[in-house]
Structure 1
Amino acid sequence: MAVLSVGVVLLVVFGVLGAAVPVPYVAQVPGPTFNTLGEIDGEPIISVEGRERNETEGELTLTTVGVSRAGLSLVEAVQGWFDREVSVVPEETVYPPGRTEQQTRDANRQAFLTSEEAAEAAALAELGHPVKVVVRGLSEDSPAEGRLQEGDAVETLDGRPTPDLATLDAVLRSIPGGTTVSVGYTRLGEPGTATVTTRSAADAEQTDGPADAEEREGSLLGVLVREQPAAPYDVDIAVEDVGGPSAGLMLTLGILDLVGDTDLTGGATVAGTGTITATGEVGPIGGIQLKMIAAEEIGAELFLVPADNCADALGAPRPGLTLARVANLDEALTALEDLRAGRTPRPC
């Protein structure tokens, strides 16, 4: 009886410790899904200014992975290891050493915003819009404030064409700081002209072109610029509380469905994941099996899988979900074309 009592006490002690003592693991679970053609709290995820959005009936849904706070208890970790809808992973794979959780979330959010830019560039390139020098923002106390704005395509500077960043940089270097210049631009398809008094490159932090400020001569416009396809309309993406670059593919497809000439889904519910580059290459992501669960839960008929994630996806087959292997945007569009035609898309 005494031995039994001691055993019970030890079990209770270990149970209490297991429930309270943290271990260096976190739990990943299927996260929320977002139909890129739809809305969040009454606001469209993808808004278009300068033209009407296409009417759509299907869904192009991006999938996410939810992550627990750092430091699961031992009991929680063990429970997660036996749950097929939970992935227990080392803490440092989600929260890198030397970073706080907030810093990690901030970095992931920045990665998402970068993927937005790549998605827009890939979609507009697919639609055949020409690449131009486009304003992505203004520097602090910019001399172009109120004259140029995000999305403007810079066409000329003092009458000289600026078709790319290198040319814009060369023209600015040839103009002394403090010079009043004429900037020809296109905004939502309409031409315009702005008069800007430049800053001296020697006195201001560099924001135009690839060179460092201390290596520059001449002028600055006080704008952040990039080369990207420029359309006669503006696309804006608004998804809060999502981090990482893995939404890129589905955002690209969402833009194409809303402003292109083809109904991509044919009314079907399509989910997927994958990073994307401005030139349309689709890259691998983490948590593919958890994202497949999320896709199945919303009744997706097709799930777009980055080619490099196919082995992991096949490791947890879900019979109710058709998987399509995609290595680039063209392959994703082909998979959707196959779906609309009643054909089986190229599988993993």
Structure 2
Amino acid sequence: MPRRTATLLASTLMLIALLCAGVLIPVPYSEMSPGPTVNTLGDHGGEPVLQITGHKTYPTSGHLNMTTVRVTGPDYRMNLVEAVYGWLAHDNTVVPHRTLYPEGQTSEQADQENAEEFSQSQESAKVAAMKELKIPVATQTVVASVMKDKPADGKLHAGDVIKAVDGTAVKGRDDVAKLVTKHKPGQKVRFTVIPVKEAAAAEKKGKRPEGPGKEITVPTEKAQDGRAIVGIQAGTDHVFPFTIDIKLADIGGPSAGLMFALGIVDKLTPDDLTGGRFVAGTGTIDDQGKVGPIGGIAMKIVAARAKGAEYFLTPKDNCATAAKDTPEGLQLIKVETIDDAMKALAQIRKGDTSGLPGCGSANRS
């Protein structure tokens, strides 16, 4: 065989071997890419995203879109070819696997964490919207979770309303731990609770559960730090004066909070918040209406602009990253609170956004 032919054959075989290795060898990376964006004022999957009953609602127009990031799952193992392609792709980001999924986290655990964060974001969005509208919201202390194989397991249940501990009225979740840790390990604690089923039935009617409650005695055990515990986590639940349901399947995480809150406000007020314009955004929100940063901002602004967004409500701490490569035709608007977002929407309705805080020189309108 001529030397030139042999060299060419060897090179070809080497290239094939490298390509096979690139496809077969997994690398410890995950990929993030632009995900779906959904109008909180519209429908998704054939039903309204925001469903409000028991209170007058008003027609809305335009868009208040929440945005998402699509990520590879915790069990997916990317190969070298996919990683290189992701690094070269303009709109995708390849990150170390552990950045998205802690060591040892299973797919089920990741899904559960995302679902819990999404549920909490909905709750906080409702509270923030009610406060923005000055609609009173009652609070109550509940059993947030029960640890398996601890003394409270099978006696107390997540969602039970805690009225008192040892006869002392509970005014907040911190009271529960203080009253329990007054005991010595091995002593019993007397909880006065309204069972979760009764509490849920009352909440559906927009009322706080009433009645003397049910007394349940739970023994304590010694924690690692020597305190007496029963194995529960207390939390705060809100009782809304009417029903607000957020119907959005297959979405997880906390980053839609701001847009859910704005959508609720829009549906409950006669003013058309967007003036018919296409506004998208992102950001966590707490009960006080403070907007927090999120991940994947670069991909979210790409997804929003591709869908037709003209304006993007951007958490302050995400502004620097978002401004590095803002899509043509999208104006970034920096927000720190729901009040900031409401002011921005008022200016958008008027058609004058020149005075609104942006995210840097990369803003384009």
Using the size of structure 1 for normalisation, the TM-score is 0.79
Say which of 32, 51, 70 aligns to 1:28.
32
CA–CA distance in structure 1, aligned partners of residues 344 and 193 of structure 2: 52
The AA in structure 2 aligned to 1:264 is L
Q: Deviations over 1:117-153 (max 9, x none)?
A: 1111111111112342247789998999xxxx99x9x
Aligned partner of 2:22 in structure 1 is 18
Shift of 1:277: 0.9
Q: SS at 1:34's partner residue?
A: strand
SS at structure 1 position matched to 2:37: strand
Contact 1:30 1:64 in 2 (8 A): yes
Equivalent in the alignment of 1:269:
278
Q: Which moved more, 1:48-57 or 1:324-333?
A: 48-57
Matched, 1:116 2:119: no
Write the mapping of 1:100-139 to structure 2, written as runs, cut at 5 A: 100-134=106-140
Change in CA separation of 1:293 and 1:12 when aligned onto 2, cut-off 3 Å: same
Sequence identity percentage: 38
> 2:132 and 2:247 mapped to 1: Cα distance?
22
Q: Which runs of 5+ in 2 are unaligned?
A: 147-152, 181-188, 221-226, 360-365
Which residue matches 2:309? Answer: 300
Q: Check 1:50–1:294 CA distance in 2 against 1; reply closer, same or farther (3 A cut).
A: same
AA aligned opposite 1:347: G
Tell whether the 8 Å contact from 1:21 to 1:73 is kept in structure 2 after alignment: yes
Following superposition, the deviation at residue 41 of structure 1 comes to 2.0
> CA 1:67 to 1:85, structure 2 compared with 1: closer, same or farther past 3 Å?
same
Kept after mapping to 2: 8 A contact 1:57/1:266: yes
Tell me the SS of whatever aligns to 2:280: strand
Uncovered stretches (5+) of structure 1, i.e. residues with no partner: 204-210, 216-221
RMSD (Å), alpha carbons? 3.8
Distance in 2 (CA, whole Å) between partners of 1:59 and 1:340 is 12
Q: Conserved in 1, the CA contact under 8 Å of 2:258 and 2:282?
A: yes
SS class of match (1:325): strand
What is the aligned counterpart of 1:232 among 238, 241, 247?
Answer: 241
- Note closer, same or farther for the CA distance 1:179–1:110 as it changes in structure 2 (3 Å cut): closer
CA distance in 2 between counterparts of 1:66 and 1:214 reads: 40
Superposed CA offset, 1:75-126 (max 9, x none):
1111111111111111111121121233122212211111111111111111
Determine if contact 2:191/2:217 at 8 Å carries over to the other structure.
Answer: yes
What letter matches 1:269 in structure 2?
F
CA distance in 2, matches of 1:199, 1:277: 33
What is the alpha-carbon distance in structure 2 between the residues aligned to residue 246 and residue 312 of structure 1?
16
CA–CA separation in structure 2 for the residues paired with 1:326 and 1:38? 23
Retained in 2: the 8 A contact 1:165–1:227? Answer: no
Cross-structure match for 2:66: 62
Q: Is the 8 A contact 2:141 2:170 kept in 1?
A: no
1:315-343 superposed Cα distances (whole Å, 9 cap, x missing partner): 11212111100111111111111100111
> 2:94 corresponds to which residue?
88
- The structure-2 alpha-carbon separation of the partners of 1:14 and 1:191, relative to structure 1 and needing over 3 Å to count, comes to closer
Letter in 1 for 2:346: E
Question: Could you list the per-position Cα deviations for residues 258-283 of structure 1 after superposition, in whole angstroms to 9, with x for gaps in the alignment?
Answer: 12343211111211111111111111
Structure 2 counterpart of 1:68, one-letter code = T
Q: 1:56 to 1:7 in 2, by over 3 A?
A: same
Which residue matches 2:185?
Answer: none
Question: What is the distance in 1 between the residues matched to 2:98 and 2:193?
Answer: 52
Cα 1:142–1:38 shift into 2, 3 Å: farther
Q: Which stretch has the larger CA shift, 320-329 or 128-137? A: 128-137
> Out of 59, 76, 81, which is 2:82 matched to?
76
Q: 2:50 aligns with which of 39, 43, 46?
A: 46
Q: Distance in 2 between matches of 1:190 and 1:22?
A: 54
1:291 to 1:191, Cα distance in 2 relative to 1, 3 A: closer
Q: CA distance change for structure 1 residues 341 and 287 in 2, over 3 Å: closer, same or farther?
A: same
Alpha-carbon distance between aligned partners in 1 of 2:101 and 2:203, rounded to the nearest angstrom: 43
Q: Which residue of 2 aligns with 1:165?
A: 172
Report how many residues are paired. 322
> Equivalent residue of 2:264, what SS?
helix
CA distance change for structure 1 residues 15 and 52 in 2, over 3 Å: closer, same or farther?
Answer: same
Contact 1:133 1:164 in 2 (8 A): no
Amino acid at match of 2:18: F
Query: 1:240 deviation in Å?
Result: 1.7
> CA separation in 2, counterparts of 1:308 and 1:178?
43
